[in-house]
Amino acid sequence: MTEKLNPADAEPTPTPVVAQPDAVEPAAEAPEAAEAAAVVPADAEPMPAPAMAPADAVLVPLEQLAPAIAAASVSRRAFLGFGLAVAGGVVGAGVLAQYFPVFASAGDEVAPIVPNYNPATKAWTFVVDSASCIGCGLCVVACKEENHVPEPAEYARTWIERHVTTTDGQLYIDSPEAGINGFPKDSTAPGAAGKAVKSSYFQPRLCMQCAEPPCVGVCPVSATYQTEDGIVLVDARRCIGCGYCVTSCPYGARYLTPAGEDTPSDTPGVADKCTWCYHRINKGQKPACVEICPVKSRQFGDANDPADPIAAIVKATNPAPFHPEWGTKPRVLYLGPALEEA
Amino acid sequence: MQAATRPMTIAGRRIPTLREMGAWLVSEVHRTPRGLKIWYALLGVFLAVGGVAALISVPPGWEVMGTSPKFEWGLLIVAYVFFAIITSGLCLSASLGTVFGLERFLPFEKRHAVLALISLITAFLVIALELHYPIRMVFGAMLTPAPTSPMWWMGVFYGTYLVVLIIEVWTLFTNHPVIHKYACTSCAIVAVFAPTTLGAVFGVLAAKPFWYGIFTPIQMVCTALTAGLAILGIVFWAVDRFRLANHGTAKPIAMPSIRLLMAIALVIVSALLIRQMVDALASPQPGMREAAIALISGPLAIQFWGVRVVIGLVVPALLLAMPMTRTPWGLLGTSVTMLVGVFMDRLNFVEAGQIYPRTTQAGTVSYPYAAYTPSPVELGILLFALAFFALAYTLAERYLKMGEGDSHIFWPWPWIKPHHDHEHDGEDDHDHKADGAQVDPLKRLASATPAQEVAL
Ligand code: SF4
Ligand code: SF4
């Protein structure tokens, strides 16, 4: 470009270039040495000629150096030097990571939340009974309140579905406003209106806290991670908002937070999902939805704790995961018609 | 920058003063042909409109996109994929060109490399606007590597690609043959790996049966080749039409071989498309059949049959087959329709994968299909990207020496010399001199005459 800008400037300019005193004879070697030394300073010592321009440097006109530069720039050492520089950058970045809190490794941030909490001893268990759920939507309300889930209905960490089978054998699923206001008498699913109902049930839905969660594996920056006690969380400070985890979740449990709303992490544009109220359970409380459910459709506890009834409930009712064939080892256990249908 | 008493220099070259730059700019504007001015103006308008859309999309989480939790990936992902595969496709088609005789694409090496670099930069621009926190991505991907994530690998490969392409373009224009050889070899390798990982980004998602599977990366690579060939076709037409550097070789040598490669590519992508549809229709997996039906007779039918199949496959095939369209203009038609087909293919793929969710998505039941309409902001960003790509290429064609370069570009094995390796004679090539710096770019463009429509 510069050349084009000044066509008159074509003849070599007398600009001096710093070179070594003996640059005229071994000219081809000199720049190479300088390059190698610049990349690996330790190597500079045994070299007879100092790589950096010494005080008694002689100025050599550019045109005399041109063949040397041309030779040096195609050398394998230069190429190697470039590779070393790249490698150095990567190592440097790794070192930086140790001192850069935002990018500290995933495990670090969970443990200190509650000093006396030992995740290794916990076996959190969530049982949902689709037979007893009455579709009141109180859990959806409680979740939105507790976790600052954005107001609009398309952002839900937990929601209620109504599955209606009509007498002609058709299945209709609806979830008006994610079930937050309860349900009207007739299904709102397109085509269901006016049909006679054979059977119906409500199914509460939430993140399955899969034991083999695809959402964790796909995250390109490790912003989604699994705690020692098996809860899948999102670090809102690291998430780049790519939405990969949203597309990877077979249970549709995730969304990206919108701006201008009261969001769980106060960070717009990042992934969010149900955490089984991790901030509550590690303090000995139950998730907000479990606490509020008037018919105890949602049961939660630590199966390792002998005082906790959850182990006995699991033993007595034998609940099962929902769509285990999707291969993610989902950990919410269901009871009732939801299982039969799936 | 102020004009100093002693002129400032970089590596022995004087930096022009502001006044000189201004004068050059004014004279350049005077010398620009009318047609080119109109083209610049058009692109300028597109860039301005698209630029506003791009700015609107910058604050994270503003709901200015048509995407939603039930349909998380939309037009911008498609646009990113489109430009990313054009990059790989250009390198792949050049590598494939070596199979059919290295000298065929020789006069166009610089264009290959420059176009690949421009389209990769465009792809990065688009993805930066699609991601909510692109800067975090750069640091996050380096500081907390996630080798389980195909998206991370994609970032690694396309990041490497950018570096290697910059080296390649730089060495092409500054005559560093050895570094250049290695850069080209690296390019040829990355050109395969990058679209493969891009395909794997979709291919690993068991939650989206239509995307899942080994054929997704394969299809991505083949589509990349098609896209690269289509871009080259357009470039060959432009070289011939506007008498750009090396135009003498465009029609007799490059065009017949690119037609052959295009025909092969069309057969491959058609076969893959048929396989994909048959496989989806026969699949017992919920979500597979429904996705195929959405394409064949559902909400995506027009863009599938009308655009993907007719415009993207049938029309280019006819244009290639008919003797009377074996002209530069015929090639342009083939290329443009093929390119439209590639874009629609990727759009169909991304949409069909999400159109039939297996489950309620964050509380939203989508029945029978999840709806997605690109928002004006998304369309604006696409316009921005296309205009950026076109403008950058036009400027490169006008102000860079696009003449013949070294012969070993894209030769995948740098230690083996191709039998007609003219390593250092690029300098002595008469064609090279003809469009050197001294020749006014005006002469190249002003002498443009309508191409003779002669069948080859
Ligand atoms: S249900 Fe979805 S979001 Fe929750 S752990 Fe499983 S894959 Fe991840
Ligand atoms: S949206 Fe955030 S958490 Fe999800 S994959 Fe992307 S970076 Fe990871």
Q: Report which DSSP code applies to B74.
A: -
A116-123: long-range contacts at Cβ-Cβ below 8 A with a sequence spacing of 24 or more? Answer: A117/A282, A117/A283, A119/A227, A119/A228, A119/A229, A119/A282, A120/A228, A120/A229, A121/A304, A122/A229, A122/A230, A122/A302, A122/A304, A123/A229, A123/A302, A123/A303, A123/A304
Strands (DSSP E) found in chain A: 16-19, 58-61, 124-129, 159-166, 171-174, 197-205, 224-226, 232-234, 255-256, 271-272, 298-302, 320-321, 332-335
DSSP secondary structure string, A129-173?
Answer: ETTT-----HHHHHHHHHHT--SSTT--SSEEEEEEEETTS-EEE
Least confident of A33-42, A303-312, B64-73, B381-390: A33-42
Residue A8 makes CB contacts below 8 A (sequence gap 6+) with: none
Overall number of domains in chain A? 1
Q: Which residue has the higher pLDDT, B377 or B416?
A: B377
* C-beta A245 within 6 A of ligand 2: yes
Cβ distance of A6 and B16 shorter than 8 Å: yes
Strand (E) or helix (H) holding B166: helix B150-174
Query: What's the CA gap between B380 and A196, in Å, rounded?
Result: 48
CB < 8 Å to A97, chain B:
143-144
Q: Which residue has the tokens 């040397």?
A: A68
Name the token pair of B452: 């003779």
Average pLDDT over residues B393-422: 59
Q: Which residue has the tokens 């730059």?
A: B21
Query: What's the CA gap between A339 and A130, in Å, rounded?
Result: 8
Q: What is the pLDDT of residue B445?
A: 38
DSSP secondary structure string, B263-316?
Answer: HHHHHHHHHHHHHHHHHHHH--STTHHHHHHHHHTSTTHIIIIIIIIIIIIIHH
Question: Using an 8 Å Cβ cutoff, are B82 and B399 in contact?
Answer: no
Query: What's the CA gap between A273 and A263, in Å, rounded?
Result: 11
3-state secondary structure of B13: strand
Query: What's the CA gap between B406 and B427, in Å, rounded?
Result: 9
Residue B208 has pLDDT above 90, yes or no: yes
Query: What's the CA gap between A242 and B72, in Å, rounded?
Result: 9
For residue B15, tell me if it sits in a domain.
no
Q: Which residue has the higher pLDDT, B256 or B154?
A: B154
Q: Which residue has the higher pLDDT, B59 or B200?
A: B200
Nearest to A153 by CA among A188, A114, A121, A101: A188
Average pLDDT over residues B222-238: 92
* Chain CA centroid to CA B77, Å: 14
* CATH code of the domain containing A179: 3.30.70.20
Cβ distance of A247 and B73 shorter than 8 Å: yes
Average pLDDT over residues B238-266: 84
Sign of the torsion formed by the C-alpha atoms of A202, A206, A211 and A214: positive
Using the atom order of ligand 2, give the atom closest to the CA of residue A222: 8
Q: Shortest CB distance from B21 goes to which of A5, A216, A247?
A: A5
For residue A157, tell me if it sits in a domain.
yes
Question: Using an 8 Å Cβ cutoff, are B405 and B94 in contact?
Answer: no
* C-beta A233 within 6 A of ligand 2: no
> Given pLDDT bands bounded at 50, 70 and 90, which one contains residue B103?
low
Q: Which residue has the higher pLDDT, A54 or B114?
A: B114
Average pLDDT over residues B418-436: 39
Helices (H) and strands (E) in chain B, counts: 17, 2
Name the token pair of B70: 């039930």
Q: What is the pLDDT of residue A92?
A: 56
Query: What's the CA gap between A218 and A222, in Å, rounded?
Result: 8
Query: What's the CA gap between B404 and B419, in Å, rounded?
Result: 18
Name the token pair of B98: 């070596």
Overall number of domains in chain B? 1
Cβ distance of B69 and A154 shorter than 8 Å: yes
Q: Shortest CB distance from A93 goes to which of B14, B70, B142?
A: B142
Question: Using an 8 Å Cβ cutoff, are B3 and B18 in contact?
Answer: yes
* CATH code of the domain containing B96: 1.20.1630.10
Using the atom order of ligand 2, give the atom closest to the CA of residue A215: 5
Tell me the one-letter amino acid at A68: A
* C-beta A223 within 6 A of ligand 2: yes
Average pLDDT of every residue of chain B = 83
Query: What's the CA gap between B165 and A245, in Å, rounded?
Result: 30
What does DSSP say about strands A332-335 and A124-129: parallel, antiparallel, or unpaired? parallel
Q: Shortest CB distance from B143 goes to which of A103, A153, A217?
A: A103
How many CB atoms neighbour CB B141 within 10 A? 21
Tell me the one-letter amino acid at A331: R
For residue A79, tell me if it sits in a domain.
no
Cβ distance of A78 and B142 shorter than 8 Å: no
For residue B34, tell me if it sits in a domain.
no
Residue B443 has pLDDT above 70, yes or no: no
For residue B14, tell me if it sits in a domain.
no
What does DSSP say about strands A271-272 and A298-302: parallel, antiparallel, or unpaired? unpaired
Query: What's the CA gap between B261 and B395, in Å, rounded?
Result: 28
For residue A225, tell me if it sits in a domain.
yes
Count the helix, strand and coil residues of chain B and give each as a percent rounded to the nearest 5: 70, 0, 30
Tell me the one-letter amino acid at B185: T
CB < 8 Å to B179, chain A:
73-74, 78-79
For residue A248, tell me if it sits in a domain.
yes
> Given pLDDT bands bounded at 50, 70 and 90, which one contains residue B246?
confident
Give the HSE-up count for residue B455: Cα atoms under 13 Å, Cβ half-sphere: 8
Residue B35 makes CB contacts below 8 A (sequence gap 6+) with: none
**Residue B305 class from Cβ within 10 Å (0-12 exposed, 13-18 middle, 19+ buried)?**
middle
Name the token pair of B188: 């040829």
Nearest to B342 by CA among B42, B88, B57, B50: B88
3-state secondary structure of A119: helix
Q: What is the pLDDT of residue B183?
A: 83
For residue A34, tell me if it sits in a domain.
no
Name the token pair of B125: 């621009």
Question: Using an 8 Å Cβ cutoff, are A227 and A119 in contact?
Answer: yes
> Given pLDDT bands bounded at 50, 70 and 90, which one contains residue B211?
very high
Q: How far are the Cα atoms of A17, A221, B142, B184, B213 from residue B159, in angstroms, in the given order?
A: 34, 15, 11, 16, 25
Average pLDDT over residues B236-247: 85
- Residues B289-326: pLDDT tens digits? 999 999 999 999 999 999 999 999 999 999 999 988 88
Question: Using an 8 Å Cβ cutoff, are B152 and A222 in contact?
Answer: no
Query: What's the CA gap between A146 and A290, in Å, rounded?
Result: 12
Average pLDDT of adjacent 10-residue blocks, chain A of 342 residues: 39 40 40 40 39 41 45 44 55 49 44 70 93 95 93 92 93 92 91 90 96 96 94 94 94 90 81 94 93 95 93 94 93 91 74
- The residue whose CA has the least distance to atom 2 of ligand 2 is A239
Cα–ligand 2 centroid distance for A247 (angstroms): 10
Query: What's the CA gap between A107 and A233, in Å, rounded?
Result: 11
Strand (E) or helix (H) holding B14: strand B13-14
Q: Report which DSSP code applies to A197.
A: E
Using the atom order of ligand 2, give the atom closest to the CA of residue A256: 1
* Number of cross-chain residue pairs from A and B with Cβ atoms under 8 Å apart: 223
* C-beta A234 within 6 A of ligand 2: yes
Winning range, highest mean pLDDT, from A12-16, A71-75, B11-15, B102-106: B11-15
> Given pLDDT bands bounded at 50, 70 and 90, which one contains residue B98?
low
* Chain CA centroid to CA B376, Å: 23
Cis peptide before B368 (omega within 30 of 0): yes
For residue A14, tell me if it sits in a domain.
no
How many CB atoms neighbour CB B298 within 10 A? 17
3-state secondary structure of B443: helix
For residue B125, tell me if it sits in a domain.
yes
Q: Report which DSSP code applies to B206.
A: T
Query: What's the CA gap between B201 and B177, in Å, rounded?
Result: 35
Q: What is the pTM of this model?
A: 0.79
Question: Using an 8 Å Cβ cutoff, are B208 and B287 in contact?
Answer: yes
Cβ distance of A7 and B206 shorter than 8 Å: no
Strand (E) or helix (H) holding B10: strand B9-10
For residue A112, tell me if it sits in a domain.
no
Q: Which residue has the higher pLDDT, B420 or A137?
A: A137
> Given pLDDT bands bounded at 50, 70 and 90, which one contains residue B107?
low
Q: What is the pLDDT of residue A165?
A: 94
> Given pLDDT bands bounded at 50, 70 and 90, which one contains residue B447?
very low
Name the token pair of B308: 């993907």
Domain residues for the domain of A321 are 120-341
Name the token pair of A35: 């390059």
CB < 8 Å to B12, chain A:
12-13, 15, 17, 62
Chain A interface includes B69 (CB < 8 A): yes
Q: What is the pLDDT of residue A71?
A: 43
Opening angle at CA B100, ends B98 and B105, nearest 5: 55
- The residue whose CA has the least distance to atom 4 of ligand 1 is A207
Name the token pair of A8: 């008159």
Opening angle at CA A18, ends A14 and A23, nearest 5: 100
Strand partners, A271: A256
For residue A28, tell me if it sits in a domain.
no
Query: What's the CA gap between B291 and B286, in Å, rounded?
Result: 9
Query: What's the CA gap between B29 and A341, in Å, rounded?
Result: 71
Question: Using an 8 Å Cβ cutoff, are A213 and A207 in contact?
Answer: no
CB < 8 Å to A77, chain B:
none
Q: What is the pLDDT of residue B332?
A: 95
For chain B, give the percent of residues with pLDDT over 70: 83
Average pLDDT over residues B119-143: 93
For residue B367, tell me if it sits in a domain.
yes
Nearest to A314 by CA among A329, A303, A325, A330: A303
Domain residues for the domain of B291 are 45-399
